[in-house]
Structure 1
Amino acid sequence: MVALNRDRWLDLERPDSGEKASFCYFRGGKGWDVGGYQKACSILRDVKFKSTVRMSPKLLDLLYLIQVWLRINRLPYKILVNSGYRTPQHNSKLEGAAKQSLHIKAMAADIRIPGLSVDNLGKLAQAIGVGGVGFYPTKGFIHVDVGKVRTWRVAESTVLEPEYWIVELLDPSTDAQWLANLAPDWPELEMLA
């Protein structure tokens, strides 16, 4: 994909912690930017339980592709992160959270973009075709993950049946070694074992 052969920048904001960051996590022709990758992991951390882990690079690329499309089309593009990584303890305390949530594997984020409707943002994420997209219109955000391609809509706190399920064609594996080199002191995740 052409957009992935260049510097990859993200503009993220975390309303619950007040953080705002614009950073490059990948340098075209050079590879992963250690400081940028660590910034992404920090802003996507479990804020409530104060836990930072190595986030899936595929998730960062998904967020990047969403922003690239919005920028090209001169639309609002600052991603507000409601939730990124969640500790299993945090996840278990949330009403309606899946027990095997991809948030606990650092492979998911709940996001919104001011000025963009949940439906339009969700349709954009679906069009990219990587992972799951959940629509939460009454809560004002979408869920994106880099698991199997699927979609669902939540209305009035009730999960409806998925609209469709498609077997993911992309390899969800991640290169554990370079992640370990970028953040050697952060906890290992099951997906990286």
Structure 2
Amino acid sequence: MTCRDPQAPARPARRTALRLLAGGAALPVLGGCAGRYEALPSPWRPGSRLDGLIPATDTYLDITNANTHEHLALRFADDGRYDGRAIRALDWMFRDWRENRHPEIDPRLYWALAALSTAARQDGHSGRIELLSGFRTRRTNAMLQRQGGGAASNSYHTRRRASDIRLEGVPMEQVADYAEWLQVGGVGRYHERAFTHIDTGPLRTWSA
């Protein structure tokens, strides 16, 4: 997926984020525009690339829950304001489906997924997201730990600040590289099941 300023003229040769990151190239960000939005994601991380790109990010999300097979296609914000009904629908999609618990998800996570989806569509992919795991209650998280599912005891899933995803047509490594470049928070690469963990906690990366 390409990391670029959507307002800049198109260039004949498209360079992927993965190649740019491998080469250590400086990538463009949008500065001085975030103030156009009245409802900004939380927690605020001044200077992060994600926050700089918010004004140019299409808030359209096309998500399928891999566990419940529910599907949503919507925009969660427009003209700098959140759509309350869309946010509630997303929160329900990201619920702990085992217990049907659906607290308010950190909206920064939705912005991160929207940025990933926007970049994928700009590179000719569908931008569709498969959600493997969103919010987890502590009881569900403990059960997954007992089953050896790799759940951490202090998982950001239990704090409503994490998701495990696949992006249709985009390799897991490329999704993870772009999420890391966005400075969303935590980014985990899970090779066996080919999914990416994204959370809004401190900046860090790992591989499993």
The counterpart of 1:86, out of the listed 130, 133, 136, is 136
Residues 8, 28 of structure 1: 8 Å contact kept? no
Which residue number corresponds to residue 119 of structure 1? 173
Tell me the equivalent position of 2:22: none
Contact 2:132 2:163 in 1 (8 A): yes
For 1:14, the aligned partner's letter is N
TM-score (structure 1 length as normaliser): 0.75
Query: Match of 2:158, SS?
Result: helix
Q: Does 1:148 align with 2:148?
A: no
Report the alpha carbon displacement of residue 5 of structure 1 after superposing the two structures with TM. Answer: 2.7
Structure 2 unaligned spans of 5+: 1-29, 34-52
Pairs within 5 Å for 1:8-47: 8-29=59-80, 31-47=81-97
Aligned to 1:178: none
TM-score by length of 2: 0.70
How many pairs were matched up? 153
- Alpha-carbon separation, structure 1, partners of 2:200 and 2:78: 22
Q: Distance in 1 between matches of 2:126 and 2:175?
A: 11
> Are 2:187 and 1:137 equivalent residues in the alignment?
no
- Match of 2:124, SS state, is coil
Give distance in 2, aligned partners of 1:109 and 1:54. Answer: 14
Deviates more, 1:127-136 or 1:67-76: 67-76
The answer on whether the counterparts of 1:5 and 1:28 sit within 8 Å (CA) in structure 2 is no
Q: What does the per-residue CA deviation read over 1:134-179, in whole Å, with 9 as the maximum and x for residues that have no partner?
A: 000101211000000110000xxxxxxxxxxxxxxxxxxxxxxxxx
SS of the counterpart of 1:12? strand
Q: Secondary structure at the match of 2:140?
A: helix
Displacement, 1:130? Answer: 1.3
* Distance in 2 (alpha carbons) for counterparts of 1:56 and 1:126: 18
Higher RCO (CA < 8 A, seq sep 6+) = 2
Equivalent position SS for 1:80: strand
Q: Compute the RMSD of aligned alpha carbons.
A: 1.4
Q: Which amino acid aligns with 1:152?
A: W
Task: Determine if contact 1:76/1:116 at 8 Å carries over to the other structure.
Answer: no
- Distance in structure 1 (CA, Å) of the matches to 2:169 and 2:112: 20
1:80-138 superposed Cα distances (whole Å, 9 cap, x missing partner): 00000000000011122111110001000000123222111111111111101000010
1:58 equivalenced with 2:112 (yes/no): no
| Residue identity opposite 2:61 in structure 1 | L
- Would you tell me which structure has more strand in proportion to its own residues? 1
Q: CA deviation at 1:28?
A: 1.6
Question: Does structure 1 retain, via aligned residues, the 8 Å contact 2:120–2:170?
Answer: no
